[in-house]
Amino acid sequence: MAQNYKSALTTSLRARLHARTPLSTAFIPVLIVLPTLALIVLLFALEAKAPYCSELKQMAELAATKGGFSLISGKPREGNFIESDLVLAGWNDCSVYGTRTYTCDTQPFKTAQEVEDAQVRILDRVQVCLGESWTEAEDRSSLGFIVLQDAHRPVSITLSIAQTDQKEYVVRLILFSRTD
């Protein structure tokens, strides 16, 4: 009888162990999927962050200072424009106008659809870069012209679509201070 009891106990323990095994192996896909999802989210966040983010943050800070962009003003250019010593990575023709306005153009695009898509991507990247205090002023924005304002400081950015002399399109970023 003791032998039958021991055999029944062993069989019972094995049955419980095997009954739990599928439950514990059910978590293996979760352990694989969660890190994969985290990596995908991280990649999207890195993609959303502009390669020019640190420079753009510096520009926004400078715009809010009394001296404005005078610290990054270089050689004079045509008209009242001045070369900028601080350039946004991947942008062209960056310059300062006076002490309160900074401007840059994107690389040129061949079609209007390409530049419109780029403008939306740039808007998203600029907002991710500069944070929640920067919002679109929808009452001042229109098709091809987007206005962003900082809720804490009198600084704004416009993202407009322009056509070049070569009949290509660019997104023009203008960052400026609204103070006198």
C-beta separation of 136 from 147 below 8 A: yes
Residue with more model confidence, 175 or 36: 175
Pairing of strands 73-76, 134-136: unpaired
Whole-model pTM: value is 0.72
Give the integer Cα–Cα distance in Å for 24 and 57: 48
Q: d(Cα 70, Cα 149) in Å, to the nearest integer? A: 22
Q: How far apart are the first and last CA of the chain?
A: 100
Is residue 50 very low, low, confident or very high in pLDDT (cuts 50, 70, 90)?
confident
pLDDT given for residue 49 in this prediction: 72
pLDDT in tens, 147-175: 999 999 999 999 999 999 999 999 999 99
- Of how many residues is the chain composed? 180
Contact at 8 Å (CB) between 36 and 43?
A: no
Helix, strand, or coil here: 7?
helix
Helix or strand or coil: residue 106? coil
